[in-house]
Structure 1
Amino acid sequence: MDMIAHNDSLQLYASDLYHYPSLKQPLAGLKSTKINLLFGHDEPNKKGVEDWTFSSDHRIFHEKKIPYIYFGVEDHKDYHKSTDTFQNINKSFYIDAVRLIIEAIKAYDSYLPIDSKD
């Protein structure tokens, strides 16, 4: 939860589109007006910007070349500290982030081809 629940600037990142650019198109049409969906934190040689590609559980997908999108927020004052509790999250941001991610899932569901072998 802490990866999408604490951002007072109303910014949520969709990361790893640098590695999987074909997954960007469905995100471009999302209609959330409350959260600014940004792309980034995935370019290995971009100076001054932290690369999140290997910074969490999703790195296993990348290592296995399984396309994915990681949704997250930049570090905040409580990030990975004992104060990173439910009481300190931005509850309305969290709800809006979940809604945006659900909208993204629906967009991918409409966009990705169905494998006829199943």
Structure 2
Amino acid sequence: MNINMDMIAHNDSLELYASGLHHYPQLKKPLQNIKSPITLLFGHDNPDDKTKDDWTYSSDHRIFHKEKIPFIYFGVEDHKDYHKPTDTFENINQDFYVDAVKLIIKAIENYDSFLE
């Protein structure tokens, strides 16, 4: 399983997405009920859901998916600085980033126990 942690430092709505569960629903259970100040949402992976961009092929995890290797991609929706010169350390929500890292560490620990 691949866990990709791109794009987790810039969200003022305190929302983080775990994408990939549409393709690999067996990976959802370890992500449920993680306690965090951040709301962990699922989505951005269903090609039939026209309300959200499909991130399935948007980053490094696409190679794993093409090879049928399950993945979870943690990311945030586009923000005002996305892919712009202003996407710098000074403009991120540092508290969000720290909490996102803690949430992802907890997810990895949960997967470690779940996949034994």
What TM-score do you get using the length of structure 1 for normalisation?
0.92
SS at match of 1:102: helix
| Divergent runs of 4+, >3 A | none
Structure 1 residue aligned with 2:92: 89
Give a deviation string over 1:43-85, Cα, whole Å, max 9, x none.
0111121000001111001001000100000000000111101
Task: Output the CA distance in 2 between the equivalents of 1:8 and 1:2.
Answer: 17
The 8 Å contact of residues 6 and 74 in structure 2, kept in 1 or not, is answered as no
Task: Output the CA distance in 2 between the equivalents of 1:35 and 1:77.
Answer: 20
Q: Which structure carries more strand by proportion?
A: 2
C-alpha RMSD of the superposition: 1.1
Give a deviation string over 1:23-47, Cα, whole Å, max 9, x none.
0000013111x10000000001111
- Give the count of matched residue pairs: 112
Equivalent residues in 2 for 1:36-115, closer than 5 Å: 36-113=39-116
1:84–1:44: structure 2 CA closer, same or farther, 3 Å change rule? Answer: same
Gaps (5+ residues) in structure 1? 114-118
Gaps (5+ residues) in structure 2? none
Matched, 1:16 2:14: no
The 8 Å contact of residues 2 and 84 in structure 1, kept in 2 or not, is answered as no
Measured after TM superposition, the shift of residue 11 of structure 1 is 0.1
Task: Output the CA distance in 2 between the equivalents of 1:28 and 1:2.
Answer: 21
The 8 Å contact of residues 16 and 68 in structure 1, kept in 2 or not, is answered as yes
SS at match of 2:71: coil
